[in-house]
Chain A
């Protein structure tokens, strides 16, 4: 079952992000939230709210393609990507429909 499929983790590259919050605008799951504190470059990078809800985190590897991907496509600074991670304990992931 889902358990053996490698999961992915949604990350924002703090070096590239310019804090425009376009990702906040488009994510249907409201995973991005406007940040509060400026980072060392003075940029307020958005916060992630339970990013494991993003369908890509669970299904990108399984399906072999990007699912949704709106945030990545609109991010003008190429700051959003998914990186490999240990499988989630899938029972803990609340799937929202």
Chain B
């Protein structure tokens, strides 16, 4: 089976802008789901509000497109009511870390058996490119026209500290690795968090001279640094460049899990 078979072709082409990375993230997620051998009735997709949260609407399974930031609360309900289901969430950095921040840390703390795929595009895409909790220092957005001065969240670090059993970070440039990471997340009991640093050429790109998707991808290619290398630099007492995007698998462990029978 090919991952394209999961798509609701009647709804394509999608509403996403040309070159937006969300479509790639859906492809990789569905590719991982395909490799698990699951059928339509085994999987439920949930999301909150935002461009990234439109994803479940393109997939031929049951899904819940819920309220802004609250998808994790709905997902907890789904999982506890029907533990047989494999529950996957699509969320954005605003949805997960701003309005939904508390749901996020407590879902990680409880370590509910869910897989959370977060499209971190550094801004609020849907509402016009406002700054989010992950907007990098110096980056422009419609609410930080002179460059953001706040320290952003590192969402993967947050998930690890809060207790998630699986955490990794990739970009849409790393399609094969991202697919493998989602699969590892699906296989790991407990909360799995896959952060995908994603290009938003319209919101973030336009404000930061990255309107051209190829330039955006070049950044993912050039600035990405494998966790192993970052660790080695730190061990040698050398600095990790501040603009490096550290990618790879950060944690895979077996803390007690909620939402699994047996």
Contacts and interface: CB of A to CB of B under 8 A. Distances in A.
Interface of A: 15-16, 18-22, 25-26, 43, 66, 70, 72-78, 81
Nearest to B23: A76
B214 A25 contact: yes
Contacts of A78: 4, 7, 12, 14, 23, 27
B18 interface: yes
Binding site secondary structure of chain A: loop
A19 B201 CA distance: 13
B13 A18 contact: yes
A77 B2 contact: no
Contacts of B213: 20-22
A81 to B, nearest CB: 6
Interface of B: 2-4, 7, 12-14, 16-24, 27-28, 31, 172-173, 175-176, 179, 213-214, 217
Nearest to A76: B23
A19 B7 contact: no
9 closest Cβ contacts across the A-B interface?
A76-B23, A20-B19, A18-B18, A73-B175, A16-B13, A20-B18, A76-B24, A74-B175, A20-B213
A16 B23 CA distance: 12
B24 A73 contact: yes
